[in-house]
Amino acid sequence: MTKKIAVIGGDGIGPEVVAEGVKVLEALADVRGWGLELLHYDLCADRFLKDGTTFPNEVADTIANECDAVLLGALGDPRVPDMRHARDILFGLRFGLDLYVNLRPIQCLHESLMPLKKFKASDVDITVLRENTEGIYVGIGGHFKKGTPDEIAVQEDFNSRKGVERIIREAFELARRTGKTKVAMADKHNAMMHGHELWIRCFREVAEEYPEIETRHVFVDAMCLFLVQDPTQFEVVVTCNLFGDIITDLGAALQGGMGMAASGNIHPGKVSLFEPVHGSAPPLTGKDVANPLATVLTVGMLLTHLGFEGEEAKLTALVRRAIETGHCTREVGGDLGTRATGDWIVEQIRSGA
């Protein structure tokens, strides 16, 4: 059966890393004999500045009705300071496809990437589930007396029982599925006594259904401290949209930097979106220096979502070997460019890895 994947390079280094991800996907399809159809969409800041297009309804419909997954590079461009196009495309996909699980593995794949003195690479192995359809990201709010000395800006934080419960439940289900024994929930119910009271109450209720799992509540500020002090204490972490955004950048620092952080925006069983966490990195654009390994790991997550068992582990092993043997970009210890790193991964796949 042919898998149909929408590909959106986006802005900055997005198209460069996605090109490597696509090479990897095509090589795998070729070697394994999978049918693969890629739909490339030119949706980015350049396009928006040229003709005002952000995220056309036809594209949204094609993705929702015909595609199995989306591979996205990055969105964000200094020429569009209000991020208009980025919000339409990224949030259009996250909210439009109801991709409520933002799955962000924090794994340190090699000792050379480990920034903490007393720990080994294998001590960093955490799966973060970031709620991805609610919270402060719903974009509801407004200004009062804008531009005056009395101005007020309101940004609402949405937490629905349904939204909170389904992400917490997925964290427990993932723990059960993957043999993990600990789930921690990070919130801030000491300050956000309405929205996050719902989180803690719901967490305690759902936890009762998983008696074999050890549960822990941690205020998010403390979690930032604990993650750096001793990352071994966490296995699965579930949190709200904004805190998940922040925690996973901190997490990226524990895995070798943003160039190593992969993510999936997932609705279990439905078309989902896969993107490296790093963003568009405008200063690196066009120089062949961006690290494509987060995208390779992201392709692994995409393949797991499509049901290709074992492929993610193989790609992860290849990325580890790329780091070990220096077949990677400078900031992770190698001396290759973006394209040559992708070429090396493809060579390994073609020679049987």
What is the total count of residues that contact ligand IPM (CB under 6 A)?
4
Nearest-CB residue for ligand IPM: 245
Judged by CB, which is closer to Mn ion: 235, or 245?
245
Task: Say whether 188 is catalytic.
Answer: yes
Task: Say whether 245 is catalytic.
Answer: yes
Binding to ligand IPM in span 212-271, by CB under 6 A: 245
Q: Smallest distance, Å, CB 140 to Mn ion?
A: 20
- Tell me how far apart the alpha carbons of residues 353 and 345 are, in angstroms, rounded to a whole number: 9
Q: Which of 137, 157, 180, 187 is catalytic?
A: 137
For the record, the structure tokens of 66 come out as 């015909």
Q: Which of 46, 123, 125, 249 is catalytic?
A: 249
Q: Smallest distance, Å, CB 185 to ligand IPM?
A: 19
String of DSSP letters for 269-317: TS-EEE--SS---GGGTTTT-S--HHHHHHHHHHHHHTT-TTHHHHHHH
Judged by CB, which is closer to ligand IPM: 85, or 327?
85
Task: Say whether 137 is catalytic.
Answer: yes
Q: Is 11 in the site for Mn ion (CB under 5 A)?
A: no
- Tell me how far apart the alpha carbons of residues 25 and 299 are, in angstroms, rounded to a whole number: 7
Task: Say whether 221 is catalytic.
Answer: yes
Per the DSSP assignment, residues forming a β-bridge with 153 are 143
- Residue 76 touches which of ligand IPM, Mn ion, none (Cβ within 5-8 Å per kind): ligand IPM
Q: Smallest distance, Å, CB 25 to ligand IPM?
A: 21
User: Beta-strand (E) ranges in 122-277?
Assistant: 125-131, 141-144, 152-155, 182-187, 214-219, 236-239, 264-266, 272-274
For the record, the structure tokens of 135 come out as 């919270």
- The residue assigned the tokens 């070990």 is 324
Amino acid identity for residue 43 in this structure: L
- Tell me how far apart the alpha carbons of residues 55 and 97 are, in angstroms, rounded to a whole number: 13
Q: Is 76 in the site for ligand IPM (CB under 6 A)?
A: yes
Q: Which of 30, 42, 221, 335 is catalytic?
A: 221
Q: Smallest distance, Å, CB 75 to Mn ion?
A: 11
Sole binder of ligand IPM in the list 114, 184, 277, 299 (CB under 6 A): 277
For the record, the structure tokens of 94 come out as 């996250």
Binding to ligand IPM in span 86-125, by CB under 6 A: 86
Q: Is 311 in the site for ligand IPM (CB under 6 A)?
A: no
Site residues for Mn ion per CB under 5 A: 245
Site residues for ligand IPM per CB under 6 A: 76, 86, 245, 277
